[in-house]
Structure 1
Amino acid sequence: MSNTNDNPNAAPAPAVSPSKRKPALLAVGGLTLLAGIAYGAYWGLFLRHYESTDNAYVQAPVVQVTPQVGGTVLQILADDTDVVKAGQPLVKLDASDAKLALERAEAQLAQTVREVRSLYATNGTLSANIHLREAEVARMQSDVARASEDVSRRQPLAATGAVSGEEMKHAETALAAAKSAVAGAQSALAAAREQAATNQVLTDGTSIENHPNVQRASAAVREAFLALQRTELPAPVAGQVAKRTVQVGQRIQAGAPLMSVIPLDEVWVEANFKEVQLRKMRIGQPVTLHADIYGEKVEYQGRVVGLGAGTGAAFALLPAQNATGNWIKVVQRVPVRVELDARQIAAHPLRVGLSMEATVDVAEQSGQPLTAVGAARASRTQAFDTQQAEAERVVRSIIAANLGRVGAQVAKAERLALATH
């Protein structure tokens, strides 16, 4: 094939003159300069007020369901992905032993109440015995006085011979016997008073319901009642069940994790920012977030509420050993806690571990620094409050039923309250 350059008739390529090349270069340079100026203005007015990261993930409390007593699992009432309410039964254990223990404790409490009642009844008996002994002492003292008068009347007559010596001897013997009887009665009175004081010590300053013996037996009933109630495991919080490991028929020990409940209405975002991005962050700054599961069409609004106590590497199972010969500096990341709007969570639910993109507006610098101590966020459950109240009602019902006629009316009201509950 022949080369076109060898053709003498081919037209030469047009050359670009320097006069036309210079304006083109100037135009390109001008456009580049304008783009740089525009980006610099955009960064100075907008971008520098935002810190972004895609190293952010949804977090939520992971509430473990653990038994407070050991036993054999008879029934499982919730499985993974089930949504449960606070206090809803999740697992039931064999309650046979707990029921027997409760029956023994209830019987012991009833017996104790009756024994303490007998102590208070004995106080009245001993008090009446003291009055009886006092009356006997008074009667015998009058006998002594009468015998003493008889002796006094006969002594002058015995000197004149009007009263025989034998009669005088009888009078003196009667006086001595009366004095001995008074001494015996006084000893019996002292013994009765000591016995009453001893019994009074057991009942002084308290009532039957508040007597230490009754309180001890009541505590045993409460303990047995709670052990019975704890054979049914309720959900501590409302949420979704996850990580169920328990099986029917399994013998479990107290404290063994059976499943978890995730309250998905309490989720937050843990955004891991580089340490160089934290300089201008403050508590309360607004955060814009996007979840990968919904894309850009759903935007969450949140705010910064706190900073983690350390970097992820510091709390790793195998932390980095930087004090070695070969060392490369790696920029660390610190978790920043971002609180989400509850209404947006309800409209577009999130799950633990979902990826998020977080952008913090750091323009506002009036808030507290991230190192400041934030307000404590307390958490509590009311799922177990009813157990204490029911145990107390059972104790009051047993005490009232063994207090007598007045207590029977109280016991009836307590039983009606338990039935309606």
Structure 2
Amino acid sequence: MTDTPAPASTAAPARAMTRRRVLIYATSVLAGLLLVAWCVHWWRNGRFQIETDDAYLRADIVTVAPRISGYLAEVRVQDNQALKAGDLLASIEDPDYQAHVDQAQAAVDEALAETRAQQARIANLAARQRQQQSLIAEVEGRARAAEAESRQANQEDRRQRHLAAQEVSSAQQLERAQADTRKADAALASARAALAARRAQVAIIDTEQQFAQARHDKAQAAVAQARARLALARIDLQHTQIRSPVDGTAGQRSLRIGQYVEAGAPLLAVVPEAAYVVANYKETQVDAMRPGQPAHIEVDALGGLELKGRVDSFAPASGAQFALLPPDNATGNFTKIVQRMPVRIRLEPGQPRAAELRPGMSVIVSVDTHHE
């Protein structure tokens, strides 16, 4: 009796069924492992990732405006032109401002001339003062001489009176002595009057010196005022040249040759290359966020370009509070709305394609709150 082999048609489905079971089992095991791995990853990292797509690139855009008014004589900047700090953007016609500088310079020269004139007057009065002191000394000498002559004449007068009383001297000698006495007394009075006049002249010169010093101080103040006006005129002349305040790219250009510009009117915007991200997170998402935490950024406009950054700071209020018309919920039909809190994120330096970033681009930001 011989064994009959199983038909081939029965063995093939059995092997296929076995392979299918192995494949299903392997797939199930792989899916389970992937699920476990994802759960582990989420538990260790994913649950700490706080993400929002309400985020945009920002930059501290500088608006360029002239400080003086006038007609534009030259425009050197073009749209989207790269600029360096100090680059000449445009020039305002300067003949009027140059004339103001010349006028202010003339006023300074005039004030300096007045100062020199007052200095010369003060020096002249000082010389007169010294001369007057010399004259006073001279007059004092004359007064002392006249006083000595007066004493001598009075003594001679008394002597002649005594001799005349004893009939030793003649009447003519007595009369001559009396005349000499009166003459000496008159000379002494004249000398004393001249001395008083000279001393009074000294007081007058002192008053003139004080007045001249006051005029000199006033002239010096006028010099300072004229120099201040000259400095202002020179500043206005310098402001006829409009220069870029920072490095960046020119945008929103509205200046043309021959255009009349007003002081303070915006003419150009300079967009710096230093961009940052403002992410508007829900108020329920920022509890675990801290400055310095790492952030992952994806730029939509650059094909999902991935950049690294860090949380820099938090806004002092929600975005609604800085709106033109802040909401007022003190009404009976109140509806609670989750507010958005702006979070500033700085980009790490030296990253590829950072020069292609432009303010206003939309980004997706994810902050890792696991790192304090």
Q: TM-score range by the shorter chain?
A: 0.7 to 0.9
Pick from 195, 199, 203: which aligns with 2:208? Answer: 195
Q: CA deviation at 1:137?
A: 0.9
The structure that has the greater radius of gyration is 2
Q: CA deviation at 1:124?
A: 2.1
What is the distance in 2 between the residues matched to 1:33 and 1:276?
A: 33
Q: Name the aligned partner's letter for residue 179 of structure 2.
A: E
Pairing 1:360-371 to 2, within 5 Å after superposition: 360-365=367-372
Q: CA deviation at 1:274?
A: 1.8
Q: Secondary structure at the match of 1:110?
A: helix
Could you tell me which residue of structure 1 aligns to residue 115 of structure 2? 116
Could you tell me which residue of structure 1 aligns to residue 270 of structure 2? 261
Q: Name the aligned partner's letter for residue 252 of structure 1.
A: V
Q: Secondary structure at the match of 1:289?
A: strand
Mean CA deviation greater in 236-245 or 72-81: 72-81
Mean CA deviation greater in 330-339 or 279-288: 330-339
What is the distance in 2 between the residues matched to 1:70 and 1:225?
A: 15
Pairing 1:49-64 to 2, within 5 Å after superposition: 49-64=48-63
Q: CA deviation at 1:212?
A: 2.4
What is the distance in 1 between the residues matched to 2:335 and 2:153?
A: 128
What is the distance in 2 between the residues matched to 1:324 and 1:190?
A: 85
Q: Name the aligned partner's letter for residue 192 of structure 1.
A: I
Could you tell me which residue of structure 2 aligns to residue 353 of structure 1? 360
What is the distance in 2 between the residues matched to 1:157 and 1:335?
A: 117
Q: CA deviation at 1:322?
A: 4.3
Q: CA deviation at 1:324?
A: 5.2
1:363-420, Cα deviation, whole Å (9 max, x unpaired): 023xxxxxxxxxxxxxxxxxxxxxxxxxxxxxxxxxxxxxxxxxxxxxxxxxxxxxxx
1:165-191, Cα deviation, whole Å (9 max, x unpaired): 333322222222111111111111111
1:110-151, Cα deviation, whole Å (9 max, x unpaired): 111122122223222211111100111111111111111111
Could you tell me which residue of structure 1 aligns to residue 339 of structure 2? 332
Q: Secondary structure at the match of 1:113?
A: helix
Q: Name the aligned partner's letter for residue 183 of structure 1.
A: A
TM-score, structure 2 normalization: 0.82
Question: Unaligned 5+ residue runs, structure 1?
Answer: 1-22, 366-421
Which has the higher relative contact order, 1 or 2, with Cα contacts under 8 A spaced 6 or more apart?
2
What is the distance in 2 between the residues matched to 1:100 and 1:180?
A: 61
Pairing 1:166-181 to 2, within 5 Å after superposition: 166-181=179-194
Q: 1:31 to 1:321 in 2, by over 3 A?
A: farther
TM-score, structure 1 normalization: 0.73
Could you tell me which residue of structure 1 aligns to residue 101 of structure 2? 102
Could you tell me which residue of structure 2 aligns to residue 148 of structure 1? 147
Could you tell me which residue of structure 2 aligns to residue 13 of structure 1? none
Question: Unaligned 5+ residue runs, structure 2?
Answer: 1-20, 161-172
What is the distance in 1 between the residues matched to 2:214 and 2:328?
A: 70
What is the distance in 2 between the residues matched to 1:151 and 1:187?
A: 25
Q: Name the aligned partner's letter for residue 278 of structure 1.
A: V
Q: Name the aligned partner's letter for residue 231 of structure 1.
A: T
Q: 1:347 to 1:267 in 2, by over 3 A?
A: closer
Number of corresponding residues: 336
Q: Secondary structure at the match of 1:314?
A: helix
Could you tell me which residue of structure 2 aligns to residue 381 of structure 1? none
Q: Name the aligned partner's letter for residue 292 of structure 1.
A: D
What is the distance in 2 between the residues matched to 1:349 and 1:283?
A: 26
Could you tell me which residue of structure 1 aligns to residue 10 of structure 2? none
Q: CA deviation at 1:295?
A: 2.5
Pick from 279, 293, 297: which aligns with 1:289? Answer: 297
Q: CA deviation at 1:292?
A: 1.9
Q: CA deviation at 1:272?
A: 1.5
Q: Name the aligned partner's letter for residue 185 of structure 2.
A: E
What is the distance in 2 between the residues matched to 1:321 and 1:182?
A: 93
Mean CA deviation greater in 214-223 or 151-160: 151-160
Q: 1:196 to 1:317 in 2, by over 3 A?
A: closer
Q: 1:107 to 1:151 in 2, by over 3 A?
A: same
Could you tell me which residue of structure 2 aligns to residue 387 of structure 1? none
Q: Alignment RMSD, CA only?
A: 2.8
Q: Secondary structure at the match of 1:282?
A: coil
Preserved contact between residue 45 and residue 370 of structure 2 (Cα < 8 Å): no
Q: CA deviation at 1:58?
A: 0.7
Pairing 1:20-169 to 2, within 5 Å after superposition: 39-159=38-158, 160=160, 161=173, 163-169=176-182
Q: CA deviation at 1:39?
A: 4.3
Q: Secondary structure at the match of 2:371?
A: coil
How many percent of aligned residue pairs carry the same amino acid? Answer: 31
What is the distance in 2 between the residues matched to 1:139 and 1:328?
A: 106
Mean CA deviation greater in 339-348 or 127-136: 339-348
Could you tell me which residue of structure 2 aligns to residue 217 of structure 1? 226
Q: 1:242 to 1:48 in 2, by over 3 A?
A: same
Preserved contact between residue 153 and residue 177 of structure 2 (Cα < 8 Å): no
Q: Name the aligned partner's letter for residue 119 of structure 2.
A: Y
What is the distance in 1 between the residues matched to 2:35 and 2:296?
A: 27
Q: 1:153 to 1:364 in 2, by over 3 A?
A: same
Pick from 166, 184, 195: which aligns with 2:197? Answer: 184
Q: CA deviation at 1:240?
A: 0.6
1:315 aligns with 2:314: no
What is the distance in 1 between the residues matched to 2:352 and 2:254?
A: 28
What is the distance in 2 between the residues matched to 1:111 and 1:345?
A: 63
Q: CA deviation at 1:197?
A: 2.9
Q: Secondary structure at the match of 1:313?
A: helix
What is the distance in 1 between the residues matched to 2:157 and 2:33?
A: 154
Q: Secondary structure at the match of 2:263?
A: coil
Could you tell me which residue of structure 2 aligns to residue 18 of structure 1? none
What is the distance in 2 between the residues matched to 1:348 and 1:325?
A: 51
Pick from 322, 347, 350: which aligns with 1:343? Answer: 350
What is the distance in 2 between the residues matched to 1:345 and 1:228?
A: 44
